[in-house]
Structure 1
């Protein structure tokens, strides 16, 4: 990957989380701002230090970090999936998967049966270019 991708800001992710909680229910709370910042920095570190990192590796790094760090009181899997989706969209791709497949994938991330590399592979297999 040569050109630096567009990144999601902390404020945007917080606003997205608030909207997801409003729409689908749950507790709105930032449980640990440091863990949120860590999850947002993770793909940027990968971009800086892994020359072979693809956009899908970076998106997976973001989603995996949010899902596993649990920075919010509730809705961590939801924001992880939404953040990956928005990250890909602003960088020219979008997730193209069924809701059931997406839910199963994110549950696998949360329970540890799907690792970050597997998540990147899933994104690579379930995307399309934005038209």
Structure 2
């Protein structure tokens, strides 16, 4: 295996570990509040956002932005698992905090993508939290790197 491939896999593993550490706070909240464990009330966010509302996030995912004339589900699929292009990420079952941090970075211009930067520009903190709660609550088709050499 080349050093570049090894470095890329190491970077992915480190990002996953950081995301897991950020989400570990949610386990403490879930133990104290069964509504959090079930996803009924969304989830706490390491991104400093209000609690996400899954049902409102589902509706928000269908709203077309003025900038791109696209909605989240137009590109990522109704539950975030059917992107229209293989290069678009699957969002269903992704860590809500990861989605929230990514959307905040797009909104701030710290993360650039021709579609996502303008798509996120008009999102409020509550919008981001709601979308993260919705997509994070969906079933997942994501894979980890277990067993990948």
After TM superposition, the score normalised by the length of structure 2 is 0.28
* Higher percent of residues as strand: 1
* Higher percent of residues as helix: 1
After TM superposition, the score normalised by the length of structure 1 is 0.31
Quick check: which has more Rg, 1 or 2?
2
